[in-house]
Structure 1
């Protein structure tokens, strides 16, 4: 079942929330209530931000809140300390494989779907190395910025595991099937160069301390200059679009026609002609086009009836 606003409590201040293994902050600093840019920090530096079920719960909860919060326009996700994320905490493990497969949901996938479903774009600032779920959970983000001297990898096969966090969907679409196959088949850890990752990383910066400030700079610009409605619908058109150019044309035309009748379009044109920053106010939850979502969302909540298609 899809998350509804009635089931989510949006806080006055994200900094006041007490979440396990995750820290939330406003940007710029010193603002008491939610700002257009909210920073999510993986906060287990003593464990290199190794991923835990509690961290997954905190991230999933945060993305769901931000999805419904009209004050927030862009999310920045980063890590505390010298690594972005060392993958899952192997001291905790993944379970013993007992019970029904239909009742299992990988925790990285829950986070990836929460990020993907959030109408607000995410910029990931990988200020240090990342492996395993530390990489796969970033794939639904709009932008990834990294440190060029750090290394990154999808190490699952070297741990006797398969990929998760919806990576089988996102990774080949982002880097191509050939590179995705190489990354997964080798399970290797590599520098963030196009040879291995294509253009998965928008920017690779020479100094680790440059990564988060650059992500915040980009997030602030996006928050000030892009329409939340146009951004959310454009990303949905790419991720959930038809498979033929003709069908894409028909869908894009229908969505474009709807957007032309919205306030954000008039504001975008007027602000450009008047040489000022736009003041976009249209809410993606309330002003989406008729028939949105145009795809068939799959219910991934527990409690589905047991059938072969659910295994």
Structure 2
């Protein structure tokens, strides 16, 4: 039986591939629960220092499999949100390792918003993003209404969500929706290069940075300064901080171990 989530470790990088290519990697219950399990395994595996998320075939992810939503014997909308997608977004944001979304094709609906809640998002030049929800009378979920306005502003987010525009990789980069796009022929090489860079950096420091960014979504200035104080003191106790300082004074490349 084909695995709907393919996971393999490559030099401290967990490569997670959404694998329903015949359905453009649209999520069903089995795939969503398997993805959650894989994220948990990445969290617990000390050898994993970066997660690389991509899709098989022509698409990154076309969102939710609508056949499952409309199936009278299916899980239903409430369970899909509470048991599939909300835990996925939460696990991505709480993962103590950076997660890179390598968008290799269309990212639509839930697929687009799962990508956008990752730490770094890159796309191949031929990829596009679409908030497809308005086309079927739904609202953006998977924290789309949370992250997209913060990435590109309320006006653009509102227009993209209501009109369901197809957003090219070039426009996504220009508006700040994603970090970078790359030409198709070099996309995998360039995306993997970023993943290897992330995996070689101080893992705990990156996790604390991620935690600070999460808190910044809800804090005022004074609260955020307090968060920075706490996390900076924690970062200063890591072995990687000591190694980074030593490398700076010795004028050499730091050898971070993620500790």
Shared topology, TM-score over 0.5? yes
- SS at structure 1 position matched to 2:116: coil
Change over 3 Å in CA distance of 1:123–1:95 after alignment to 2 = same
Match of 2:141 in 1: 164
- SS at structure 2 position matched to 1:190: strand
Which sections of structure 1, spanning at least 5 residues, go unmatched? 1-17, 28-34, 283-311
Change over 3 Å in CA distance of 1:72–1:266 after alignment to 2 = same
Mean alpha-carbon deviation: is it higher for 246-255 or for 61-70? Answer: 246-255
Match of 2:27 in 1: 51
Larger helix fraction of residues: 2
In 2, Cα distance between equivalents of 1:94 and 1:212: 36
Asked if 2 retains the 8 angstrom alpha-carbon contact of 1:146 and 1:204, the reply is yes
In 2, Cα distance between equivalents of 1:106 and 1:174: 26
Q: For residues 222-237 of structure 1, what are the structure 2 equivalents within 5 Å?
A: 222-224=198-200, 226-237=201-212
Match of 1:120 in 2: 97
Change over 3 Å in CA distance of 1:86–1:233 after alignment to 2 = same
Match of 2:243 in 1: 267
CA RMSD of aligned residues (A): 2.6
In 2, Cα distance between equivalents of 1:115 and 1:91: 26
**Residue 153, structure 1, aligned to residue 130, structure 2:** yes
Q: So what's the TM-score if we normalise by structure 1?
A: 0.75
Larger Rg: 1
Question: What is the CA-CA distance between 1:119 and the residue it aligns to?
Answer: 0.8
Match of 1:291 in 2: none
**Residue 88, structure 1, aligned to residue 71, structure 2:** no
Q: So what's the TM-score if we normalise by structure 2?
A: 0.88
Asked if 2 retains the 8 angstrom alpha-carbon contact of 1:106 and 1:164, the reply is no
In 1, Cα distance between equivalents of 2:113 and 2:103: 12
In 2, Cα distance between equivalents of 1:103 and 1:79: 21
Match of 2:9 in 1: 26
**Residue 258, structure 1, aligned to residue 234, structure 2:** yes
Match of 1:142 in 2: 119
**Residue 185, structure 1, aligned to residue 168, structure 2:** no
Question: What is the CA-CA distance between 1:192 and the residue it aligns to?
Answer: 2.4
2:254 to 254, 262, 277: 277
**Residue 67, structure 1, aligned to residue 40, structure 2:** no
In 1, Cα distance between equivalents of 2:87 and 2:244: 35
